[in-house]
Structures are given as C-alpha cells and as structure tokens.
C-alpha cells in the first residue's frame, strides 16, 4: 500500500471521537444549570448536614424563626479556613441554623451560650481555629435580640462551627435565603 493510499484510508473522522464526551459534558452542564436555577445547592460543610439542599430567597414577607436553616453573608473578614465566594466581603455564603430570634435573650461567656436561660448544646467557643494557627474573634456578653437580629449556630457539628459565637448577632439584611434539606446525611462520622 502506498503512502497516499494509507493517508486516504477511510476511517472515522477525528471530530467524531470527541462527539460523545462533548455531548455528555453539555448535558451535564445543562443539568447543573437547571438544578441551580431551581434552588438546589450542595453543602459540603459539616456545620449543617452534608448533601443536597433547596434554597428560597428571603423577602420581607418571610418570617424567620429559630430552627430555620438559612444562608447568609457572615459579618467577618477573610480567614484562611473560609471559602471564597460572592458575598460583599469575598467569602462564600454560610449555611447555619437560627438558634434565636427577635426578643430572645442571648448570653455568651467562655463556657458557652444560653438562650433565654437554656444552654445551647456544645456551644463552648474555641480560642483558635482547628487545624489553623489562627485566633478566632470572641463575642462575649448578653443581648436581647432586636427585631432584625438573629443568632446563628452550626447545628450539624456545633463544636467546630464558625457561627454567631464569634461575631455576635446576625443582621437580617445579611440573610439571603432559607434552606430546606433534600437529600442529606449526618457528617459526624467523618470528623474528629
């Protein structure tokens, strides 16, 4: 067989070899975009159960109550253990539970947090970030939460959660959405 004949040998054009992976990539991107548009988010932080959540934007008509899980832009500066994201401070939104709301009395000292005189489980604040040589901010005192203030708490793994224990009450204006679990699992088994 001559060189010319070998070059003209019929075969699959090269572009057909990549057709299936390109179609799969585009289908995956379309599925991801559709899921995002319907409010589906994946939580990988152990502060709340890991898995799939659905978020719904917060409006002034939505009442927020203790027990609700919300996403918000935390009123903190960047720390090495926080993920970058689209909040005004350059951080990713947090996902935490509201532990106290307007009218509740929150007290915090080095032993932990009480809400209306009841201890918040496993709420003793840490002096330093676990795995990082970083001193954490320390909020201390007692406050009756105002009409637009909330106390957040990482109920999934409270001992290690970076929440209101470190920055104090969260203004409602920083809350972006209410989150509901879709498919989640307890993350305690993966952490020390």
Residue spans per domain, the chain: 40-190
pLDDT for 144? 98
Strands in the chain per DSSP E: 40-43, 50-57, 69-72, 94-100, 105-109, 112-115, 118-119, 141-144, 149-153, 170-171, 175-185
For the chain, give percent helix, strand, coil, nearest 5. 20, 30, 45
Percent of the chain with pLDDT over 90: 53
- C-alpha distances out from residue 9 to 2, 6, 13, 19, 166, Å: 11, 5, 11, 21, 70
Average pLDDT value for the chain: 85
pLDDT digits (tens, 9 = 90+) for 12-47: 567 677 877 777 777 767 766 666 666 778 887 888
Whether 143 contacts 169, CB under 8 Å:
yes
Tell me the whole-structure pTM to 2 decimals: 0.77
Low-confidence ranges of the chain (pLDDT < 70): 1-13, 15, 28, 31-38, 186-192
Class of the domain covering 40-190:
mainly beta
């Amino acid at each position: 067989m001559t060189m010319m004949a070998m070059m003209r040998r019929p075969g699959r054009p090269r572009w057909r070899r990549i057709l299936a992976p390109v179609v799969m990539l585009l289908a995956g991107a379309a599925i991801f975009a559709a899921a995002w548009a319907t409010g589906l988010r994946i939580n990988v932080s152990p502060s709340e159960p890991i898995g799939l959540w659905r978020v719904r934007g917060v409006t002034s008509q939505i009442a927020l109550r203790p027990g609700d899980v919300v996403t918000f832009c935390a009123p903190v500066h960047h720390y090495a253990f926080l993920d970058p994201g689209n909040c005004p401070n350059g951080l990713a939104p947090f996902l935490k539970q509201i532990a106290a709301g307007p009218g509740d009395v929150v007290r915090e000292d080095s032993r932990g947090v009480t809400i209306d005189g009841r201890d918040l489980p496993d709420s003793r604040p840490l002096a330093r970030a676990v795995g990082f040589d970083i001193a954490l901010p320390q909020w201390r005192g007692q406050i009756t939460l105002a009409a637009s203030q909330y106390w957040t708490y990482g109920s999934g793994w409270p001992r290690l959660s970076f929440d209101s224990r470190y920055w104090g009450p969260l203004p409602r204006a920083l809350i972006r959405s209410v989150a509901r679990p879709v498919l989640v699992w307890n993350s305690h088994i993966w952490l020390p």
